[in-house]
Amino acid sequence: MEALLNELRQEAEATRSLLERVPEERLGWKPHPKSMTLGQLALHVATIPGDLSRLAQLEEFDASNANFEPAVPESKAAINTALKKS
């Protein structure tokens, strides 16, 4: 269990380092017209650990009831807060 926790800590640090490099003035930029914005992608990456943890604790998951609309972060601070919370 300790090995898994250490790996998660390393990944969290790598993710934090990556997200620090996202330019705030470019949060609305899209790498492709059908893509999410850079801000939405960064927020998605920031929330993956918490989302996986919540899913793992569920007895079952009904995708038809899920909201798959990506959230739009207001700022880099919101992304960083989401990562810390996640």
According to the model, what pLDDT value does residue 63 have?
A: 86
According to the model, what pLDDT value does residue 1 have?
A: 81
- Model confidence over 9-39: pLDDT tens digits? 899 999 999 999 999 999 999 999 999 999 9
Report how far residue 77's alpha carbon sits from residue 5's, in angstroms, rounded to the nearest whole number: 25
- Model confidence over 41-67: pLDDT tens digits? 999 999 999 998 898 899 998 888 888
Dihedral angle, C-alpha 9, 14, 31, 81, nearest 10 °? 50
